[in-house]
Amino acid sequence: MAQAKKLSMAQVLICGAAIVTLSMGIRHGFGLWLQPITQAQGWTRETFAFAIAIQ
């Protein structure tokens, strides 16, 4: 069997930070689309926020 490469703690932390940054950036980016989406769908701000919260 081939030997598995060990990851350093720095690599794990950097990858984890990148994943969190991307996921939070995508989630907070929906704020830019709040007004156009709610107007087009006829939703309230609360409905849109709830939809984002449960995804």
Structural domain contains residue 2: no
Domain count, the chain: 1
Q: Which residues of 17-41 are buried (b: 16+ CB within 10 A; e: fewer)?
A: eeeeeeeeeeeeeeeeeeeeebeee
Question: C-alpha dihedral over 36, 40, 41, 45, to 10 degrees?
Answer: 30
Structural domain for 55, as ranges: 30-55
Asked if 45 and 34 count as a contact pair (C-beta separation under 8 A), the reply is: yes
Structural domain contains residue 1: no
Structural domain contains residue 50: yes
Q: Quick one: average pLDDT of 15-41? A: 89
Structural domain contains residue 11: no
pLDDT category of residue 31 using cuts at 50, 70 and 90: confident
Structural domain contains residue 9: no
pLDDT category of residue 2 using cuts at 50, 70 and 90: low
pTM: 0.51
Structural domain contains residue 19: no
